[in-house]
Structure 1
Amino acid sequence: MAKVKGAIVVDTETCKGCEVCIPVCPENVISMSTEVNRKGYHYAYMSNPEVCTGCTNCGIVCPDRAISVYRVKVSA
């Protein structure tokens, strides 16, 4: 059976740092950056990318649609 590997891409200029995505991630993949975007917001990023399953929870709850989720099947 193939395993699913996930990844997210955050539009750092759209992200306003609301942190809604952090608690919905079951694998604790997302953190807030220490850097800020042009608007002065800390933005989300993948701090633990190797455990992302591509569940899409973060993309669904993002109020600004700043997160895109990708899934790839990886042979076991």
Structure 2
Amino acid sequence: MKKGKKLLTEPKWCKGCGYCVEWCPKKVLSIKHEKVVVENPDDCICCGLCEQRCPDYAIWIETEED
């Protein structure tokens, strides 16, 4: 994960479509029990493709505050 950034999910909003998983170039995400799960957060490059592709706004990258 890039310093100062954090990948967040809201499972209640996720319908398990898997678009985020398909578009992730680093294979950080997976679908478990019909919801998105961050499997490998340290591999995330914060490219934002998952966030852009999610039709339910259930995944996003947030800047961490110091």
Could you tell me the TM-score, scaled by structure 2's length? 0.82
Cα displacement string for residues 13-33 of structure 1 (whole angstroms, at most 9, x for unaligned residues): 000000011111010000012
Q: Identify unmatched segments of 5+ residues in structure 2.
A: none
Matched, 1:50 2:49: no
Q: Name the CA distance, whole Å, in 1 between partners of 2:63 and 2:40.
A: 16
- Partner in structure 1 of residue 30 of structure 2: 31
Q: Name the CA distance, whole Å, in 2 between partners of 1:59 and 1:18.
A: 13
Count of aligned residue pairs for this structure pair: 63
- Partner in structure 2 of residue 68 of structure 1: 60
Q: Identify unmatched segments of 5+ residues in structure 1.
A: 35-41
Query: Greater share of strand residues, 1 or 2?
Result: 1
Give the alignment's Cα RMSD to 1 decimal.
Answer: 1.9
- Partner in structure 2 of residue 39 of structure 1: none
**CA deviation after TM superposition for structure 1 residue 8, in Å:** 1.4
User: What percentage of residue pairs aligned between the two structures are identical?
Assistant: 32
Runs of 4+ in 1 over 2 A off after TM superposition: 4-7
